[in-house]
Amino acid sequence: MKVLLDSNVWRYLADQNASAALQKCVTESDIEIVVTPSLVFETLELLNEPVRKSILKLQALPFWTRLMPETFLEIEEIKASIRRYRPEWIINNPDMTQVNQLARDWTESDGGFWARAGADIAPPTTDESIRLEREHHLARLESQKIRANLLSRGQTLPKVSLCDVFGNPPASIPGWLGAPVEYWRVPSLHVMWNELQIYASPYREWIDSEVDINAIFESPDKFTQLWYYQISAEDTPRQWLRGAFEYLQAYHKVTSGNPVDSQLASHLIDVDVIVSADRNFIRFVEKCKKDAPFAVAEPYRIAGGGKGVGDLFAKLSSSY
């Protein structure tokens, strides 16, 4: 059984010096603890140095199961969809040298990203890292704007399935036939189209060795048709989950963790259980598990602090 821990859980474990106890518990229960790069990046932003170092040391232990970045996993789904629906965009005999080198940094067992994380070495500041920081800030501002608009109109979260939520794209989108489309498709297309135009974007870094990006740019209407009418939620479940979380977040208080929660949501298909002390996060996962047209992790909410660590161990011990 694979278990993903939210950032607050890692904090409680580090505060309680529970590393050895956690390793012993999961070994006896035949459970894998999964850690994601997005959680590590969130930890690297903590200003309290002793707290940051203790959490990073715990997260970077090779004992856990390490996932690739969510951008890599999303692109894997998208490449599969392009092969199925737009095979003419696939590059024959691609040069994989650069992308394989990039992948090695994430998969090295003794070195690379995880070694730097464990040593509390922050990634160097680049134009791309500045852009991503700005994008996170703008995402929070946009969430606040949407929420304020909903509150001003007295709107509350509709009691409908997430599969029955639709949205209207901007009228200028080439290839859109004019009728509302499933909500998740609108922000997903917007993000992917814009990311592919940025050479240093991680999305583009993972895809442009195997997909002809220029062919996509020459046919924006076909790209829209692929996104709005051909790929399904089952083809790209991570896109559905991101859209679902962004939709649900609009009806709840906006926090600095909103963009990170959306990133973490893309991993809900990689694990069997996700543990958090965040009430709204667990509520969102419960809604996704109920409505998604594919399997989603079981959410489990714990208390805060030391009691939460006890809750976690009780859950892990009883789950086997």
Residue by residue, pLDDT tens for the chain (320 residues) are 999 999 999 999 999 999 999 999 999 888 999 999 999 999 998 999 999 999 999 999 999 999 999 999 999 999 999 999 999 999 999 999 999 999 999 999 888 999 999 999 887 665 544 455 555 545 454 545 544 554 455 554 557 899 998 999 988 899 999 999 999 999 999 999 999 999 889 999 999 999 999 999 999 999 999 999 999 999 999 999 999 998 888 765 544 444 567 889 999 999 999 999 999 899 999 999 999 999 999 999 999 999 999 999 999 988 65
The tally of domains found in the chain comes to: 1
Quote the domain boundaries for residue 270: 2-318
Phi, psi of 279 (to 5 degrees): -60, -45
